[in-house]
Amino acid sequence: MAEQEEQPIAGRSLTGQAVALARLLHHECTSLLRLYTERETFLSSYTPDGKRLVSASPESEEPSTEEQVHLLHSALRQCLGLLHRVIQKEEEEWGKLEDEYESMRKNVRARLEHLLYSTKGLVETDGTNLEVTPDNQCNEETDGSGGVFGFKLWTYRVLLELIHWSDHAAKTLHVLHTEREGAEEA
Amino acid sequence: MIAWLLLLSLSTTSTQDGQENSVLRCGPQNVTLDYDSFLLKWEDDLSCSVIRDGLVYELQLLIADKPEHNGEVVVAPAQIGSTHSWKWISHLPSQCARHSVRLRSQYNNQSSPWMQKTLPDQGEILVLPRDQILEVGSTATFCCMVPDGESIKTMFLLKYKGTNVTTTKISEHVHSLIVHLDQESENYSDVQCETTKGDINGASFHASYPPDDSDLKCETRDLESIDCFWNVGRAANEHPAMERTYQLQGSSCINGRSGKCSQKVKVDAAERNWTLTATNRLGKLEIHDNADLTKRVHMVAPDKVAASTVNPRNISLKWSWTVQKYSNLNITCQVHVSDGNSNTKTESIGVGLTAAVIKDLIPHWGYDVRVRCGTAQHFWKWGDWSKSVKIRTKGDVPDALDVWMKVKEDQTVISWKVPLANQSHGEIFDYKVSWAKTKDKNQSNQTNVSRSNHSLTLTLDPSEEYMVTVTARNINGSSSPSTIIIPRCNLDTSKVKTSWISGSNGSFFLSWPDSPNASCGYIVDWCPVFGNCSFEWMKVPPNRTRTTIFSKNFEDGRRYLLSIYACTEGAAVLLQRREGYIRETKIGGELFKLKYKQEDSAVEVSWEPIPLEKQTASIHGYILYYQDKSGNVFNVSTDDPEATSLTAKNLNISTYTFTVTASTAFGLCGNSSISVTLNPLADQLIMLILISLGAVFLILSVSTIICYRHWACIKHKVYPPIPKPVLTDQWLTLPDEHTSHRLHFDQSYYREVLDIPKLHDQFRPPQPVVGQDYKPFTFSQTPKGYYNKPLKKSQPCLTLPTTGLTSQPGLPSSPINGVFPNPSYNPSYNLVLQSVDREFKSGPEVHEGIPFIRSFSGYQRQSPDETFTTTELDEYPNSPISCVSTYILLPQKTSN
C-alpha cells in the first residue's frame, strides 16, 4: 500500500513512465467496464466464475522482477488479442456506434499497445526478442458459442481481465521501478 | 487374411441378458450439437477406416426423453474418416422441452453403442432461439432450460420496449417467454434467464422490417446508361445484420442503400420494365418502373459557359456539351442571371443548343450567370446547373437624375439624388446645372458642380419663372437632362391647409385625392419643421395616390413637414401639407420658464411659447396646478396649445406653488413650478385712504373758502346784529322791511348751497344701497348706462331730517312729502317716504312712483355726504328744490 502511494513522476525514467502508463490503463479499463455495464445493464448483477481467460505461468517458483515483467508482457499481449477480438466481433454485430464506449475502447487499445512497447523496452535484452502484436488465442468456440448474448458475457469477462492485468502491470512495474531507481540512487 | 483380421477387430463380443452380442467398435466420436440449428456433427472412429463398403449411422431425436424422430445417415466408403452431419428441421413449433439426440453406427448387423447429446448439457443454461432476426409484428417465443438439479429463478426481456410480454413457468427446469414484437429493436434485445444459483444466460434477438423500398424512377443522363432512384424506406441504415442488398435488372448495385443505382444499358426508343430487387434477412422486395428512356433524359450541366460578347446592356453566352448525343436533341435552356439583389431567368430553345443572349442588363454591372437545360420534346426535368460564371457589362452614360427643388424667398435650392451604382454606370465626374428664364431660354447660365455635391443654391428673381436642367457626366458621356420648372412666385402655401399626421413603424403613410393636374405623377418632400431643412423627396407614379415614406434620417421626437405636389408639365403644384412625428417621445425636464403677476386675488402664470425643438411630442394643452400651504391642490387648464398663460383666481393671501405642465400623448410632461406668496391688498387700501383724506381736505378747503367769502353773510345770519333798542317809532315800521330783506337773502343762499353737494358728490365713496328700486335716481353715463356695477347712491332730493316740516307756501316743493309712523321701528323715529317725479307732477301720481325708503337709526349727524344733488337739477334751474342744511338754519316761516 505504501508502495502505491509513492507516485513516480512521468518522464523521470522509463520505469516511472511505464508505471504511470499502467495506472492510466487501469483507470481507463475500469471506465470501459463501467460504460459497458451501462449499455448492458444486466451485467451489473452478473458475477462470472473465477476462471482467468489469460494466464502466465512462471518457469521458476520464485521468478525475478524482470522475469515477472516478461510474464506480464506475455499476459498483456493476450489481453490485447482478446480486446482485438472483442472489437472485431462487436463491429460485426452492432456496426460502428461511435458512442462513448467505443471511444474509450479505442483509447484502451492504444494505451495497451503503448504499454506493451514500454514493457518490451524495459526488459528486452540482446538475447531476447519480445513481440508486441496481439496474441490471439481465442476462436469461434470461445467467444461465439453462446450467441450474441454469450458474447456479451464473454466481453464482460475480457474487460474484467483487462482490469486485472492492468492493475497487475502497475504493481509489477512499480516493483521494477523501485528496484531500478533505488539501485541507481545507491 | 489381414483384412479379415481387421474386420474381426471392428467388433467385440459382449454378453448381455444371457445372450452373446457383437458390439461394433467403429462408432461416432467428437459429437457436437449446435443449439440453434440443431445441427449434429461427428467423426468416425479410427477403426472405421478399414470398412470398404460403407457405413450407416442411426439417429434418434428425443423430446422430453420421448422419441420424436428417427433418421439415418449413410456414409459412403469414400466419406469414411471425414466429418458427418445431420440437421433436424422441426415442422412443429418451437417446443420448450429438453431435446436429446442419440446416434450409433451400424455395419453388418452390428451396432456401436448409442452416443447421446442432450440439450442443455450439465452445467448449462440454455435459452433458445438465439440471435434471431425477427419481423416487427410477429410473436416470438423464447425458452429457458436448465438441466436436472437446477431450477429457474426468473426469465425476462431486456432492451426492448415492447409491453406485450408473457412469461410462463412450464416446470422448474423450463420457462417460456412470449413477446409480441410491435416495434423495432434499437440494437440487439435480450431475453435473460437466471437460475436460483445466480447463474445467468440469455438469447439476443433483433426485431426489424423486411425491405420497404418504393417509388422507383429510372432515367438516363447520357443516353447510354440508366440511373434509377427510389425511396429506401424506413430502417435502411440500421443493424449490420439487417443490411439490404439491391439488384437492378439482376445486376448488383454497389451502393443501393443510398437509393440510387446506375448501370450501362442500351437506350432505345422503347418502353421497358425496369426492376429493382431489395433483399434483407427478413424478406425480398421487387419494385418496377415502366419507362422509355429517350423520354427520360436528365441532361448533364452545360460545360465551359462563357460570354462570347459583352455590351453595356446585353451579353452573348456560349457553352459546350460533354455528351455528344445531345447534339441531336431539341434542347431548351434556362439562363439564370443574378446581381446579388435580383434574379432573372430567360429561356432559349434549339437543337443541340450551345448559345444564348441575355438582354436588359445594367451597364457597368456585375452578374453571376449559369445555365441548365432539358429536352424540349418530352421534357422530363431540368438538368444540372452549370458552374456559375461572373460577367461584368460595359459602362454607359449615367441615367437621368432625380431632381427636386426648394424655394425660400429668392433662394432656390436645386437638389438631386446621388446616382446609385446601378444608375451611374461608371464613376461620376461631375454635374452640370444650367438655368434660364422660361421666357428667354437663350440666356442660359450654367455651372459645374463637383461629384461630392448634390445640390446647388441659386439666387433667382422671384418674379420670373425659371427652367433648371441638371445632367451627370461619367467617362461614357453625359446623362439625359433632368429639367425642373421654378415657378414665378413662391408656391402659394396660404391656400393649402396643413393637417396632422402620425407616423407608424418608422414611416409616414400618406394618401391624397387624385389630382387632374398630376400629369407626371406626384412628388412628396419632407424636412424637419425646425432646424436646417435638408429636404428629401420621393416621386410617385401618376396612377398612385398613396405612399409610405421611409427615411434613414427620420428621428423620433422630431416634427416633420411633408408636402405633396402634383407633377405637371410646368411647375409642381402644392396639393397638401402634413405635419407630424414619426414617433412622439416624452418631453423631458422642465419645459417652462414661469412668470407670475398678481391681480387682486388672482395670479396669472405665464411662460414663453415652447420652441418646436423642445416639443418632442405634440402639446394638446396646458394645466396649471396650484397648491396652498394646506396641501389643497386646484387646477385650471386650457386646450389651446398656443396658450402662454393661465390664471388662478380667488386665491387667499397665502403662499402657493404653481406648476405648469403640458398635456401630450404621453401624459403630462415638462412640469415647471414656481412658488408665490400673495401680497395683501395693502396698496389699494392705502390708496383708498389717501383719496378719502384728499376728498375731505378738499371739501373742507372749499367750505372754508366759501365761508370766508361769505363770512359777513354767515356772520350776519348766525349772529345777526342785535338791534339796539329803538326808542323811536321807526322801530315799529322796520320789521316789514327787515322781513322782506331776509327773504331775498334766503334765495341767494339756496343757490350757494346747491353748489356744495356737487363737490361732495364727486368725492363720495360708493355707499351700499339700502333699497333695491332706485331707478328714478340711477344716472347713466352712457346711453346704455353701466352694467354690473353698483348703483350710485344718488338722491334727487334731500330728505329733511326735520320732523313735521311742511312745505313752505309760495315755494315749490316735492309732490309728496309725508311723514308716516313706522310700526316696525322704534316708534320714537319717523319713516320718511319720499317720491319724486321728474316732472314734479302733483299729488296722486306720486303714489305710482317707486318709493324711496330710508330709515334712520336714531339721530344721525347730517354729513355732507348725505346731501345730494343731481344733474337734473341743473337742467331745471328754476325747479323748486327742497334742500336744507342743518348747518345753515334757514329762517322759516311757520305756517302757524
Tell me which long-range contacts B69-73 makes (C-beta under 8 A, separation of at least 24). none
| Cell numbers standing for residue A56 | 502466465
Residue B551, number of CB atoms within 10 A of its CB? 14
Q: B-chain residues within 8 Å CB-CB of A94?
A: 187-188, 239-240
Angle, CA of B870, B873 and B799, to the nearest 5°: 65
Helix axes A147-185, A65-94, angle to 10 degrees: 150
Please give the Cα distance from B277 to B249 (Å, whole number).
Answer: 8
Instruction: Please tell me if residue B192 touches chain A, with a CB cutoff of 8 Å.
Output: yes
Query: How close A42 comes to chain B (CA, Å)?
Result: 8
C-alpha dist (Å) from residue B98 to B65, B117, B173, B554: 7, 11, 9, 93
Q: B125 and B153 in contact (C-beta within 8 Å)?
A: no
Q: A-chain residues within 8 Å CB-CB of B239?
A: 94-95
Q: Residue B888's pLDDT is what?
A: 34
Q: Residue B33's pLDDT is what?
A: 82
B792 residue type, one letter: K
Residues 6+ apart with CB under 8 A from B473: B398, B428, B429, B430, B431, B432, B479
B637 residue type, one letter: S
Residue B506, number of CB atoms within 10 A of its CB? 13
Q: Residue B91's pLDDT is what?
A: 55
Please give the Cα distance from B78 to B56 (Å, whole number).
Answer: 13
- CA-closest candidate to residue A150, choices A137, A138, A162: A138
3-class secondary structure per residue, chain A: CHHHHCCCCCCCCHHHHHHHHHHHHHHHHHHHHHHHHHHCHHHHHCCCCCCCCCCCCCCCCCCCHHHHHHHHHHHHHHHHHHHHHHHHHHHHHHCCCCCHHHHHHHHHHHHHHHHHHHHHHHHCCCCCCCCCCCCCCCCHHHHCCCHHHHHHHHHHHHHHHHHHHHHHHHHHHHHHHHHHHHHHHC
Q: A-chain residues within 8 Å CB-CB of B192?
A: 42, 149
The CA-based dihedral angle spanning residues B494, B500, B502, B506, taken in that order and rounded to the nearest 10 degrees: 10
- CA-closest candidate to residue B173, choices B141, B203, B143: B143
> Block means of pLDDT (10 residues each) for chain B, length 896 residues?
51 50 78 80 86 86 84 87 83 67 87 85 84 91 88 91 86 91 88 90 91 94 94 74 90 90 90 94 94 94 95 95 92 95 92 94 94 94 96 94 88 92 92 92 90 92 91 94 85 74 92 91 92 87 93 90 92 92 87 86 89 86 90 90 89 88 87 85 76 91 86 77 61 45 42 40 39 36 36 35 36 38 38 37 38 38 38 37 35 38
DSSP label at residue B410: T
Q: Which strand ranges, in their side-by-side order, compose the sheet holding B621-627?
A: B633-638, B621-627, B655-664, B667-677
Q: B28 and B57 in contact (C-beta within 8 Å)?
A: yes
pTM, full prediction: 0.55
| Cell numbers standing for residue A28 | 481507463
Q: Which residue on chain A is closest to B159 by alpha carbon?
A: A40
Q: Residue B147's pLDDT is what?
A: 85
Query: How close B49 comes to chain A (CA, Å)?
Result: 28
Helix axes A14-39, A100-123, angle to 10 degrees: 150
| Cell numbers standing for residue B851 | 318709493
Q: B-chain residues within 8 Å CB-CB of A91?
A: 240
Residues, chain B, total?
Answer: 896
3-class secondary-structure state, position B799: coil
| Cell numbers standing for residue B629 | 400651504
Instruction: Please tell me if residue A150 touches chain B, with a CB cutoff of 8 Å.
Output: yes
Q: B870 and B779 in contact (C-beta within 8 Å)?
A: yes
Place of cell 519480445: A130
DSSP label at residue B715: H
Q: A-chain residues within 8 Å CB-CB of B30?
A: none
Instruction: Please tell me if residue B153 touches chain A, with a CB cutoff of 8 Å.
Output: no
Phi and psi at B526, nearest 5°, equal -155, 150
- CA-closest candidate to residue B517, choices B477, B569, B469: B569
Residue B894, number of CB atoms within 10 A of its CB? 8
Of B158, B188, B241, the CB nearest to A42: B158
Cα radius of gyration (chain B): 67
Of B130, B190, B240, the CB nearest to A42: B190
Instruction: Note the ipTM here.
Output: 0.82
Q: A-chain residues within 8 Å CB-CB of B200?
A: 42, 45-46, 153
| Cell numbers standing for residue A10 | 512521468
3-class secondary-structure state, position B46: helix
Instruction: Please tell me if residue B198 touches chain A, with a CB cutoff of 8 Å.
Output: yes
Tell me which long-range contacts A1-4 makes (C-beta under 8 A, separation of at least 24). A3/A171, A3/A174, A3/A175, A3/A178, A4/A171, A4/A174
Of A41, A146, A148, the CB nearest to B188: A148
Q: B104 and B114 in contact (C-beta within 8 Å)?
A: yes
* Number of cross-chain residue pairs from A and B with Cβ atoms under 8 Å apart: 48
- Cis check for the bond before B827: say yes or no (omega within 30 of 0): no
Angle, CA of B8, B9 and B15, to the nearest 5°: 85
In this prediction, residues A141-168 reach a mean pLDDT of 87
Q: B459 and B410 in contact (C-beta within 8 Å)?
A: yes
Instruction: Please tell me if residue B93 touches chain A, with a CB cutoff of 8 Å.
Output: no
Q: Is B488 left (phi over 0), alpha (psi -120 to 50) or beta?
A: alpha
Q: Is B670 left (phi over 0), alpha (psi -120 to 50) or beta?
A: left
3-class secondary-structure state, position B418: coil
Beta pairing partners, B432: B448, B471
DSSP label at residue B461: -
3-class secondary-structure state, position B753: helix
C-alpha dist (Å) from residue B869 to B772, B790, B842, B872: 20, 19, 21, 8
Beta pairing partners, B510: B547
3-class secondary-structure state, position B671: strand
Q: B404 and B537 in contact (C-beta within 8 Å)?
A: yes
Instruction: Please tell me if residue B239 touches chain A, with a CB cutoff of 8 Å.
Output: yes
In this prediction, residues A86-92 reach a mean pLDDT of 91
Contact at CB, B158 and A41, closer than 8 angstroms: yes
Please give the Cα distance from B714 to B589 (Å, whole number).
Answer: 79
Q: Cα B861 to the chain's mean position, in Å?
A: 86
- CA-closest candidate to residue B80, choices B108, B47, B39, B32: B47
Place of cell 477403426: B47
| Cell numbers standing for residue B516 | 387632374
C-alpha dist (Å) from residue B59 to A23, A115, B99, B106, B114: 57, 54, 13, 11, 9
Phi and psi at B286, nearest 5°, equal -120, 130
Q: B830 and B799 in contact (C-beta within 8 Å)?
A: no
